[in-house]
Every structure is written in C-alpha cells, then in structure tokens.
Amino acid sequence: MIIIRLDRILADRKMKLNELAEKVGISNVNLSCLKTGKVKAIRFSTLNAICKVLNCQPGDILEYIEDNEEM
C-alpha cells in the first residue's frame, strides 16, 4: 500500500495546501484528494511540480507499507 505523506512535508515547510495548489497549478480539491489518499494515481508531471515547489524527493511524499491482504 502507498501512503501519501504530503501533510507532513507541508507542515515541515510551514505551507498551506492552497498555497501549494496555487504554486503547482492544480485545484485545491485535487490536491486535497491527493493529500488524503483518495486518488488511485498521480501524474509524474504533478509529482515533479510538487517536489520542485517543496524542494523534496518523491520518497519524502510517498511511502510504501506492505499490505498483507494483497498477498
């Protein structure tokens, strides 16, 4: 299972979700869905833009946790 850690990075950077959405160029709603893990996919271009604005790596935002139910 992939866990989205966007809220942690935003807190570390002292940035609000709407500020990130504006800088990345996506809607607050879409970014909120990403933050809460309600999405099934993310475009590399969106991930690239988020990492650029937050000055981080994709691994800072995405975390893999083994899900025993998938096995």
Query: What is the mean predicted confidence (pLDDT) over 47-51?
Result: 97
Q: What domains does the chain contain, in order, with CATH numbers?
A: 2-58 (1.10.260.40)
- The yes-or-no verdict on residue 70 having pLDDT over 80 is no
* Residues near 48 by beta carbon (within 8 Å), at least 6 away in sequence: none
Q: Compute the mean pLDDT over every residue in the chain, rounded to the nearest whole number.
A: 92
Q: Which residue(s) pair with 65 in the sheet?
A: none
- pTM of this prediction? 0.86
